[in-house]
């Protein structure tokens, strides 16, 4: 059985917490963008984004991750004003309609600040605090939850993928520490697909996922509809949900706690089965201890 992380109560913003001890949590992707790789334009208005987000809650999402800029390779950057204009009205509307946790998917400190002040509980930074380090100060000042993601974009990576994870994430955690971010607010994301150049590199990251528990922090997995799944299955982005669910099971059994997904329903069922397997392993282990 996989060793668990040192703390399993994730403290997020506005006085909220999420217990990750006994089961995994689903983070639903809500892109308020015209050009995201899988669902660009589908929820590109406040009303459409809110409807989609609420349907994700009905299907089992505990976190709604709101993004106003596509992170697909080659996507055009938007201005900070445009990003804020896309995401803040959605966050404000959702705070009135649901108790689900809300995450802001941004690397910009100004966007993060506007989002948490509008009601977001979590900041999810795909640049691991290293593009705009002031985002860590925003997280600390507002006591927000913080997802720190590894990326290989824009730099030379180490040959060993886990060594590169450690080098990058240790740098990110140092930024967080200097800003005064509390460890119990942090979740780490190995950044599947973000400059992981081949299916083999992504699969090695899955196979060696347990090694990331050395950080002693909860881990987030974001494999949903990624290109490496398409390379392995031959399916287009919108048809990769079954492959995504397979990785949800594999990574939950290896100790991931949070799963960022497009299709909540299929991953909910996958996660239920994985959690049931982990519960059974714990029960069997307890019985063996009693009889030892």
155-174 per-residue burial string, b: 16 or more CB within 10 A, e: under 16: eebeeebbebbbebbeebbe
- Spatial distance between the Cα atoms of 110 and 257, rounded to a whole number of angstroms: 28
HSE-CB for 39 with a 13 A CA cutoff: 23
Assess contact for 54 and 264: CB atoms under 8 A. Answer: no
For residue 238, what is the DSSP state?
Answer: G
Provide φ and ψ at 98, rounded to 5°. -150, 155
HSE-CB for 16 with a 13 A CA cutoff: 19
Sheet holding 258-261, edge to edge: 186-189, 145-149, 122-125, 101-105, 63-67, 25-31, 258-261, 220-221
Which residues belong to the active site?
226, 260
Structural Rg of the chain based on CA atoms? 18
């Amino acid at each position: 059985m996989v060793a668990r992380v040192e703390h399993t109560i994730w403290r997020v913003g506005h006085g909220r917490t999420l217990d990750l001890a006994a089961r995994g949590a689903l983070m639903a992707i809500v892109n308020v963008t015209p050009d995201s790789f899988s669902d660009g334009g589908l929820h590109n208005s406040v009303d459409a984004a809110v409807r989609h987000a609420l349907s994700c809650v009905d299907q089992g999402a505990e976190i709604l991750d709101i993004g106003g800029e596509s992170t697909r390779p080659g996507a055009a950057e938007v201005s900070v004003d445009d990003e804020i204009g896309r995401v803040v009205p959605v966050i404000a509307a959702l705070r009135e309609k649901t108790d689900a946790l809300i995450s802001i998917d941004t690397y910009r400190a100004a966007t993060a600040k506007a989002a948490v002040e509008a009601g977001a509980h979590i900041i999810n930074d795909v640049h691991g605090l290293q593009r705009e380090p002031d985002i860590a100060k925003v997280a600390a000042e507002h006591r927000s939850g913080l997802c720190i993601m590894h990326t290989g974009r824009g730099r030379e990576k180490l040959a060993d993928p886990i060594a590169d994870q450690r080098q990058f994430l240790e740098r990110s955690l140092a930024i967080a520490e200097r800003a005064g971010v509390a460890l119990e607010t942090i979740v780490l994301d190995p950044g599947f697909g973000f400059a992981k150049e081949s299916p083999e590199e992504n699969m090695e990251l899955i196979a060696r996922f347990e090694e990331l528990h050395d950080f002693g922090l909860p881990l987030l997995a974001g494999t949903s509809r990624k290109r490496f799944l398409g390379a392995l299955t031959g399916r287009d982005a919108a048809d990769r949900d079954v492959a995504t669910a397979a990785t949800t099971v594999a990574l939950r059994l290896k100790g991931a706690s949070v799963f960022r997904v497009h299709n909540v329903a299929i991953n909910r069922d996958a996660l239920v089965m994985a959690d049931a397997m982990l519960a059974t392993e714990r029960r069997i282990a307890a019985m063996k201890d009693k009889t030892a």
